[in-house]
Amino acid sequence: MATILAAGLLAGCGETATPADPDPTDPWLNPPPPAHGAVEQLPASVHALVAPEHLSEAEQFLATESISQISPGEVSYFAGYPIVLPDVSRPYLVRGIYRTQATFTVAILGDALWVASTDSADDDAPLRHQPLVLIMDEVPATVYVTAGPAR
């Protein structure tokens, strides 16, 4: 299981991200298997939304992979506000999708990371991309991304 370092990040909300393809085959959508183990939710302090003015650039980093390591100097740039990182940490950009609520939970599921929006499971609005800045000390083997709560 990945050990997570709290970095004093605040999870933002309410910003408008770029529209994604409403088709459930969106390449950013990657649900976990139906039968999965326990979900360990991480503190909101380890992730933040990418600022609206940097969404397009962050999406380029995530065009072919679900998670991309960034430099410590890029953390504040992508978040849009100053962030002081712990000495031993690795910052990443990670994919997130949502329908109407750009707020997220980030959890550990086995050796995988699970990024889930807090949208209702019944919400049928089109999917939208919202990259997040994430502070971890290990790279997860797999990244699951869903619109709706992690359960």
* The one-letter amino acid at 151: R
- Say how far apart CA 76 and CA 35 lie, in whole Å: 37
Q: What residues does each domain of the chain span?
A: 40-146
Q: Which two tokens stand for residue 142?
A: 């797999």
- Considering the chain, what is the average pLDDT of its residues? 83
| Per-residue pLDDT reduced to its tens digit, 31-85 | 998 877 888 999 998 999 999 999 999 999 999 999 999 999 999 999 999 988 8
Q: What is the pTM of this model?
A: 0.82
- Say how far apart CA 148 and CA 91 lie, in whole Å: 25
